[in-house]
Amino acid sequence: MPESKDLPTRWDLIVVGAGPAGLAAAIYAARARLRTLVLDESVPGGQVKTTHKVSNYPGFPEDVRGKDLAAAFALQAERFGATIRRAVEITEHDLAGPVKRLVLDEEETVEAPAVVVATGARPRELGVPGEPRFKGRGISTCATCDGAYFDGKAIHVIGGGNSAVEESLFLTQFARKVTIVSRYDQLKAEAAIVEEALHHPRIEVVWHAEPRAFTGEGTLQGVRLEDLRTGALSEHPTDGVFVFIGHHPRADLVKGLVPVDERGFVRTGEDMSTPVPGLYVAGDLRAKPFRQITTAVADGTIAALAAQRYVKGLERHAAQVMSPPGPGGAVAETAGSPA
Q: Which residue type does 106 have? A: E
d(CA 47, CA 254): 20
d(CA 136, CA 120): 22
Distance of CA 336 to the CA centre of its chain: 35
The H-or-E segment that residue 306 falls in is helix 293-322
Yes or no: say if 180 and 168 are a contact pair by the CB < 8 Å rule. yes
Other residues' Cβ atoms within 10 Å of the Cβ of residue 325: 9
d(CA 51, CA 179): 20
d(CA 134, CA 200): 28
Yes or no: say if 249 and 266 are a contact pair by the CB < 8 Å rule. yes
Q: How far is CA 17 from CA 90, 219, 295, 296, 298, in A?
A: 11, 34, 16, 12, 15
Whether 145 sits among the annotated catalytic residues: the reply is yes
**Given 40, 146, 239, 299, the catalytic residue:** 146
Phi and psi at residue 99, to the nearest 5°: -110, 120
Other residues' Cβ atoms within 10 Å of the Cβ of residue 165: 27
Distance of CA 82 to the CA centre of its chain: 19
**Given 145, 151, 252, 261, the catalytic residue:** 145
Whether 151 sits among the annotated catalytic residues: the reply is no
DSSP 3-state assignment of 285? Answer: helix
Q: Which residues are catalytic?
A: 142, 145-146
